[in-house]
Structure 1
Amino acid sequence: MDAWCRAMDAIYVFAVLLAVFWILVNLFYRRLRLAESGVVELHSYVILVFKKGVGWAPRPSRRIRVYNAASTLLYFLSLALFTYSALASVLGRLRTGSSGVVVLVPGVNIVGVDLLFFLASVSIAASLHEYLHAVFALRNGVPVKSYGVMLLLILPLAYVEVDEEAFRKAGRGGRIGVLSAGVAVNLALAFASMLLLSAMSSPIGVLVTGVEEGSPAYEHGVQVYDVIVSVNGTPVRGIGDIPVVRKLAKPTVLEVAVWRSGSGIVNLTIPIGVGDERIGVYLSPAPSTWLISSLGASAALAAYRFTMWMWIVNFSLALLNAAPLFVTDGGRVIGELAGEKWGRVINAASLLLFIAMILP
């Protein structure tokens, strides 16, 4: 209960600081008349855009129909994944009464080095998303008027502005191809990151990322960056396989086998006393031993976690932007396919489904 209260306090403090920041941004934006510069724009009170006019001329491609078809196919795959995930989440909550999807909030439930990896992944994913919009626009004969960066709440994103009049004159297949391009590259990056993460992962073992001083693990030889491969002869395939000390009949002894870079398998005997509540280790999914041997433990863990965030961020962006919501690429794609009236109906229904999915 105390941990939950501390988490809620952190969320409230974060929300207040974020609100104060955007109030000041809005005040300074109007006070300094930044809108007149043509370089800085403020949208919906929480989207700050810095842009530069470029006037990139279109460069039509003979193969653009193939590219548009591939982009559209990946978009519909992302849409199917979003629909399945949302319905499975909502139906699961109705059956079990569980809470909604956990919303990742930088600074609240994404902290430390993970926050850096998260922000880097978002910047890369968003920049490539917008870059593909620009490339597909040019290849479909639509000029790009400007590009730049934006800040959405606290997320740094890229920004591309196409010539809307030329965009409307492009064929429907071309318009859908341009709108689908960002989702397509995010889904492709997500799959590539997933495959790379699979190659980087160890099928057995969990990585020790920290050891509490004075704990049983500390006193009996467990070291940071050890990979725990078995406990009492039972292979460890995930963090859930590590015994919970509070549930053990004590006193007892844990026979722990760890893989240690430079030493191979090391067997440790860890006595657990009556008063011990924790074994005293902080754990993470383990990178493969070949990766640790090649890069070193700290670099291997950094590469592993960055790749993990690239997978999470790109997959999430692909599904979120594919969703038929009023402000997403998916909302515009559905509008192109279903028409303005039915597009609004589908967008509204999808918005209700999305809200039901994320409500606590």
Structure 2
Amino acid sequence: MNTEGFLIFFGVFWLALYVYGRVSLMKNKGVEVQPFLLLYRTKRFNQLFDRLAYRYQRGWRIFFDAGVALALGEIAYGAYFFMTNFLALLSRPETAGRVILLIPGVTVGLQTLPFILIALAIVLVAHEGSHGISSRLEQIPVKSSGVFFFLFLPGAFVEPDDEAFKSSRLTSKLRVMAAGSLGNLAVAFVVSILILMLFTGPSGILILRLRQGGPAQIAGMHEWDVIQSIDGTPIRTWEDLQSYMNSVRAGSVLTITTQRGIFQIVARDPQNASRAIIGLESYGSVEYYPVRGGVQKPQYEYNLLATLSWIQNLSIWVAVVNMLPIYPMDGEKFTTAILSRFLPRRANLFRALITGLFLFIFTSNILLSFFRFEFLPLP
């Protein structure tokens, strides 16, 4: 499905869902439908939070105390990264990182959507589950919890009792607010270990998309082929491929070895005869990391690694961004609780200044990334 088809389907889906929500009794079952928002609220998970919190109280307290310390580090790292990246985007954009919102079909390819949805589901369960457990551990009632879809992305929430939260001790507030990001970092740590255990180092270039009418396609190469060597020279990384192709003249005959066999191509761009190419699409290939044990199923290995990598990266960045002191992030309540305790008379002033500064820097990173970089979706 192309981007236009996706957007048409997206609009029709939300229109039909909204109309159905207006004429049905879904709200009586905890389901609420608003324009581009589908929300389900329940109390079914409250008992689960209680059981988990009370069964391992000592371990949870150590875990969530560590989360408070890590939260301070996340705030410091977030401030450092987004400030230095903001300055780099202004002065040396080639050294800056690209900060984008994940919009399927716009900033990320639609083929990436399944990986994102799986990763988001795990990120949300870890994040909100940690909030629920920490709330009950601190004797703060949970009014409800649930899931929602806003536009095209899923979300989840745990709703602690506001009055009980406001009247709780500072340490309780900090533990609850830091818990979500801590859950995400724990997931990222576990997934990082899994990646190290399951996969070896790069062992070739995996083809995801071929250029139509390009040399590789004409020679019979396919998607999911792995380039292992060219003219007998091992190709394991992108640097290996780029280094070799820089020495190739247009029109040269290259012998490419893949896991399916050997192919000979004429390295010439059909649209520019003076340029030597293999014929891979932009963002159409990645380094191939095989599973340990020689499974040699490139498509499955790529899908597994892509899923784990999205879980790892989203977990880390959700943890960091969530602790920025910007409303409605957890970091805003975290810093407000500290300011209210130690600077009660000037808490609102400092809160406004800090929130305004971080909001400016964060949004500037997104806007400058849009204008400074070529607008190509991530693969």
Query: How many pairs were matched up?
Result: 344
* C-alpha contact (below 8 Å) 1:68/1:174 kept by paired residues: no
Identify if the C-alpha distance between structure 1 residues 161 and 102 changes in structure 2 by more than 3 Å, giving closer, same or farther. Answer: closer
> Is it true that 1:69 corresponds to 2:104 in the alignment?
no
Q: Which residue does the alignment assign to 1:51?
A: 41
Higher strand residue share: 1
Could you tell which deviates more after superposition, 306-315 or 228-237? 228-237
* C-alpha contact (below 8 Å) 1:202/1:288 kept by paired residues: yes
Q: Distance in 2 between matches of 1:291 and 1:104?
A: 31
What secondary structure sits across from 1:323 in the alignment? coil
Identify if the C-alpha distance between structure 1 residues 175 and 92 changes in structure 2 by more than 3 Å, giving closer, same or farther. Answer: same
TM-score, normalising length: structure 1: 0.79
Q: Which residue does the alignment assign to 1:328?
A: 329
Identify if the C-alpha distance between structure 1 residues 333 and 23 changes in structure 2 by more than 3 Å, giving closer, same or farther. Answer: farther
2:103 corresponds, among 84, 105, 115, to 105
1:167 corresponds, among 153, 165, 168, to 165
Q: Which residue does the alignment assign to 1:254?
A: 254
> Is it true that 1:353 corresponds to 2:353 in the alignment?
no
TM-score, normalising length: structure 2: 0.76
Q: Distance in 2 between matches of 1:35 and 1:334?
A: 38
* C-alpha contact (below 8 Å) 1:239/1:284 kept by paired residues: no
Q: Which residue does the alignment assign to 1:3?
A: none
Letter in 2 for 1:66: I
Q: Which residue does the alignment assign to 1:337?
A: 338
Q: Distance in 2 between matches of 1:337 and 1:35?
A: 41
What secondary structure sits across from 2:202 in the alignment? strand
Once the two structures are TM-superposed, the CA of residue 205 in structure 1 deviates from its matched residue by 1.9
* C-alpha contact (below 8 Å) 1:206/1:236 kept by paired residues: yes
Q: Which residue does the alignment assign to 1:284?
A: 285
Q: Distance in 2 between matches of 1:356 and 1:215?
A: 39
Could you tell which deviates more after superposition, 163-172 or 225-234? 225-234
Q: Which residue does the alignment assign to 2:30?
A: 39
Q: Which residue does the alignment assign to 2:238?
A: 238
Q: Distance in 2 between matches of 1:19 and 1:222?
A: 38
RMSD: 3.7
- In the TM superposition, what are the counterparts of 1:132-147 in structure 2 within 5 Å? 132-147=130-145
Q: Which residue does the alignment assign to 1:188?
A: 186
Q: Distance in 2 between matches of 1:128 and 1:309?
A: 15
Identify if the C-alpha distance between structure 1 residues 177 and 329 changes in structure 2 by more than 3 Å, giving closer, same or farther. Answer: same
Q: Which residue does the alignment assign to 1:216?
A: 215
Q: Alpha-carbon deviations, 1:321-352, whole Å to 9, x = none?
A: 01110100011101111224122321111101
Letter in 2 for 1:52: T
* C-alpha contact (below 8 Å) 1:292/1:300 kept by paired residues: no
Q: Distance in 2 between matches of 1:229 and 1:104?
A: 33
Is there any run of 5+ residues in structure 1 with no aligned partner, and where?
A: 1-6
> Is it true that 1:92 corresponds to 2:100 in the alignment?
no
* C-alpha contact (below 8 Å) 2:200/2:291 kept by paired residues: no
Identify if the C-alpha distance between structure 1 residues 346 and 46 changes in structure 2 by more than 3 Å, giving closer, same or farther. Answer: farther
